[in-house]
A and B are shown apart, each in its own frame.
Chain A
Amino acid sequence: MPVSAELATFSDRLFVAAAGIYALAMIFHAVEFSAARAKVPVLVGAGAPDGAPEEGPVRSRPERFGRMAVAVTVLGAALQLASIATRGIAAERWPLGNMYEFISAISVAAVGTWLVVLRRSPAARSAGPFVLFPVLVLMALAGSVLYVPAGPVVPPLRSYWMSIHVSTICISSGLLVVAGVASLLFLLRRSGRLDGLAEKLPEADALDRLAYRITIVAFPLFTFAIITGAIWAEAAWGRFWGWDPKETVAFVSWVIYAAYLHARATAGWRTGRAAWVNVAGFATIVFNLFFINMVVAGLHSYAGVG
């Protein structure tokens, strides 16, 4: 399969540019965050309409930084999408064939989720630095130790199921990253520790609701991704489910997220404990991405590392 070297290089540069821009956005967020005084709860309370802090045309300097952060994030996401697209064109295949590529996709899915969240409730912006931080960590790993040049993939990955299965896994993982961060921030906010930091975050209620809303979108998508994985496995490996390490940990994640949804409906579990469950689910997703791909040998070892 021919690989257009120039386009592949261009894609790599776009990736680096996107990462740089996210870093800039994170700095802007951090400026706003550190300059902001603790919010008056009423403005971001559960009952307040979204975008409540409408202070007329004159905006405070921190707020301008916050808005710049969001604008810049949009640009970064656009560049990263372009990076993924050009890589796909360069390699003439669906650009989700190795660890570098799917971490890039998960990152952009997380950023996209975050932008949708911001559009619907701008008050969540103060969580910005904490959402972009894991994204940057992911991208730093992908761009350095996990990087592989654009190239064709092994025959088992040549299936249209790959585009369906891996894409939905990446999107749901990206969603769950944001949900996990929201639950972590919720726990931090509620614990009352790190007071100066915590009280600038969005309201605990809002964070909890955010985590839940994202999870109920991500969970069916994740279920769909597992089902399409099983359909593909039936055609590629001779069985739809075989407890391959990756499958097993995906099962564990699924069960934990199912537990999260049940916890939300159980007295005494609704908020604090449910959030811990969500964090545990997030941990299994990360564990599945890194540990299972890189340490445990299995059928899913296509990561292109090692």
Chain B
Amino acid sequence: MPASTETPAPPRPDPGPRTPHPRLSGVWAVLRNGWRGLTSMRTALVLLFLLALAALPGALLPQRSLNQQLVDKYFTDYPWLAPTLDRLGFFDVFAAPWFAAIYLLLMISLIGCVLPRTVEHAAALRAEPVVTPRNLARMPHHASATLDVGIDEAEERVRSRLRGWRRAERADGTGRTVSAEKGYLREAGNLLFHLSLIGLLLGFAAGKLFGYEGQVIVMSGGGQFCNTGILGYDTFRAGLRVDGTDLSPFCVRLDDFHADFQPNGQAESFRGTLSYQSAEDVEAGVDRWSTHQLEVNHPLRVDGNRVYLLGHGYAPRFTVTWPDGQQRTGEIQWRPVDQATMLSQGATKFEPPGVTDEEKRRTSQLAITGLFAPTSSGGDIVTSVFPALLAPEVAVDVMRGDLGLDDGRGQSIFQVDQGMIDSGALARVARANLVPGQSLTLDDGTVVRFDGVQDWAYLQVSYDPGQEAVLVFAVLLLGGLGLSLTIRRRRFWARLTPVDDGARTVVELGGLARTDRAGYGEEFDRLRADLLDAPNAAQEEI
């Protein structure tokens, strides 16, 4: 890391016998100093600031992972800036190499700092508390008294009061000392916190590698979806190691969908009755379906996958009866253009049945496009006044001609190809407002009937094999954090010196908090009171 070579004057390596070659020793020094620099607290601080700074554009600029339309809008609004930002990865901040570089360096710095500390802590756990300092009066907390008991009894008193402390007793001239230390869990919590961060990152990475997320629209009233491959989805975001061949092939069926609204149009609840078949049953050919009430905040969990209800909408059903008596019914989702009133827009497309002549087929395809209002305002211009299905009405244009379905390009299911209209290949042949049951007749005698409306639900299937691990590490992290912030590391010493031929004992106490949190004072006072005050007071009274 180049920055680390700039860190000011680390101690020069000792050109001793171990590194006889001067150049080698130079390289070694650079490596070692680089490592020291990277694992120093100061570097960790700088990396933390960089990480915070680097994440900010992720909140301030539109992100592809969240909303492609907003990114496109940014491109139209700021054409001079957007391409540069895009090249630098600012629309995919959390996938950008510079973002990854920062958190990976931070993780390396963390490992480099935490692993040696773990070893040190393990050693400290085995080590005896440090030798009692010669002059306890110099300690931040200090007290002494003479007790009217022998040294053995005094020592026993200290020992029993310091139960739970790590202790060492040593001979000291004519007397003895007790060294004690407590609060090892602070460092253990600190280490747990940092190690959990690494685990959390690994769990997160596992999800990004092996997880996937797919969205699909399913019709209410028995629409089915099986998780057999990517093609079944309307949109699919695969993890880096997911090719779609190994999905868990469970199936879901939306038997019923119901949305409730308050009088002001705000959504009250969305409820889907979902039947599902586990992957195991699907593969074994067992026709066993279970049911689940699918709601917001209440996903279906099956075979490690989760199925969510993300949204809903309406699909008007049209039946077209051609002059020769043939009928076709079309029911496809229309897209809500106003979430408050669920005014929807779409295009239901029909192929003329039984037409084998390509030329003729391309002049007689039909599309019913326009607006759908679940609760129509009535009148000539249809608009929606309420999101629930109270007074449905469609305002449609019937287009006839070439829909452009054969040119190999993908086409929106919500619109007809404007290019075909512009070229004259597709033309409007009728326009009408219809309520369910009403129909209109085209010039050639074809009848288009608006039959009714079906609900559809927008479902998401998610799979993230890392999320349980992330949760476990997050909980460990929190526990470690709590320990490291609440527990105080402190030392306590007692020196016992016999006086008056062993009849009495001088007890000197010293205390030192090893962390900067104040508050040891009170505990020391309690220790002092328990060890020195009570017996003395008792003695004086007698």
Contacts and interface: CB of A to CB of B under 8 A. Distances in A.
Nearest to A241: B204
Contacts of B59: 245-246, 248-249, 252, 292, 296
Given A154-B266, A248-B55, A266-B42, A243 B65 contact: yes
Contacts of B297: 155-156, 158-159, 161, 232, 235-236
A259 B470 contact: no
B483 to A, nearest CB: 10
Interface stretch (B285-293, B407-415, B471-479): B471-479
Nearest to B93: A243
Nearest to B482: A220
Interface stretch (B43-51, B163-171, B248-256): B43-51
B45 A266 contact: yes
A6 B285 CA distance: 60
B158 to A, nearest CB: 27
B66 A244 contact: yes
B236 interface: no
B200 to A, nearest CB: 10
A243 B268 contact: no
Interface in A131-160: 151-152, 154-156, 158-159
B45 A259 contact: yes
Contact of B310 (A219, A238, A258, A298): A238
Contact of A219 (B42, B51, B299, B485): B485
Nearest to A235: B297
Interface in B283-317: 295-299, 306, 308, 310
B45 A240 contact: no
Interface in A194-243: 209, 213, 216, 219-220, 223-224, 227, 230-232, 234-243
Interface residues of B, number: 52
Interface string B386-423: 00000000000000000000000000000000000000
A230 B467 CA distance: 10
Interface string B39-73: 00110110011011001101110010111001000
A159 B213 CA distance: 23
A223 B58 contact: no
B52 A255 contact: yes
Contacts, number: 123
A160 B164 CA distance: 40
Nearest to A288: B59
A266 B94 CA distance: 29
A242 B65 contact: yes
B267 interface: yes
The A interface is mostly helix, strand or loop, or mixed, namely helix
Interface residues of A, number: 54
A262 interface: yes
Contact of A259 (B49, B308, B481): B49
A130 interface: no
Nearest to A269: B45
A239 B464 contact: yes
B270 interface: yes
B227 to A, nearest CB: 14
A219 B481 contact: yes
A238 B58 contact: no
B94 A209 contact: no
A263 interface: yes
Contacts of B295: 155
A10 interface: no
B52 A220 contact: no
Contact of A256 (B52, B67, B93): B52
A64 interface: no
A298 B63 CA distance: 11
B296 A156 contact: yes
B478 A154 contact: no
Interface in B313-355: none
B48 A240 contact: no
B202 to A, nearest CB: 14
B55 A220 contact: no
B299 A235 contact: yes
A264 B516 contact: yes
Contact of A216 (B48, B65, B66, B485): B485
Contact of A238 (B51, B70, B213, B471): B213
Given A155-B267, A156-B296, A240-B470, A220 B478 contact: yes
Interface of A: 1, 46, 151-152, 154-156, 158-159, 161, 209, 213, 216, 219-220, 223-224, 227, 230-232, 234-246, 248-249, 251-252, 255-256, 258-259, 262-266, 268-269, 284, 292, 296-298
30 contacts: A1-B262, A152-B268, A155-B267, A155-B297, A156-B297, A158-B296, A220-B481, A223-B478, A234-B306, A238-B308, A239-B462, A239-B464, A241-B204, A242-B65, A242-B66, A243-B58, A243-B66, A245-B59, A252-B55, A252-B59, A255-B48, A255-B51, A256-B52, A258-B48, A259-B48, A259-B49, A264-B516, A266-B42, A269-B45, A296-B60
Given A237-B308, A243-B65, 14 more contacts: A156-B296, A158-B297, A235-B299, A236-B296, A236-B297, A238-B299, A245-B59, A252-B52, A255-B52, A259-B49, A259-B52, A262-B45, A292-B59, A296-B59
Interface of B: 41-42, 44-45, 48-49, 51-52, 55-56, 58-60, 63, 65-67, 70, 93-94, 204, 213, 262, 266-270, 295-299, 306, 308, 310, 460, 462, 464, 467, 470-471, 474-475, 477-478, 481-482, 485, 516-518
